[in-house]
Amino acid sequence: MGRWAQRKRGGGGQISAYLNFLTAATIDSANFVSMDWFRPITASTLAANQFKTQPSGFVPFDVQQDGANGTLIEFIEDVSMETALHYDGDARANLSPQVVAF
């Protein structure tokens, strides 16, 4: 007969306790997308090329601070017909990759 495991393995826990993640992304105008984060974020830790729209794949050229928990990204293209924003970055403690629908 086999033996049962004698040690318990720990679970994953809540990701919100450690990671920051996008809670909403909103198209503010034809060229701007406003993003709300779960925790305070610093825009300088994000790079514009870490974001792209779906389905067209437009990449912004600027990331700006918009309050403690907000960032604003600016595009050259008109993004008003896009359906989602994809984030794939390497900023410490940010959940990556993630997709947020507009």
For the chain, the straight-line distance linking the first and the last C-alpha, in angstroms and rounded, comes to: 56
Helix, strand, or coil here: 33? Answer: strand
Hey, what are 67's tokens? 């309050």
pTM of the model: 0.81
Helix, strand, or coil here: 45? Answer: helix
- Domain 17-101 in this protein, CATH class: mainly beta
Helix, strand, or coil here: 61? Answer: coil
Under-50 pLDDT residues of the chain: none
Nearest by Cα to 22 from 35, 3, 41: 35
Residue 9: CA count within 13 A, CB half-sphere: 3
Q: Would you state the pLDDT for residue 19?
A: 87
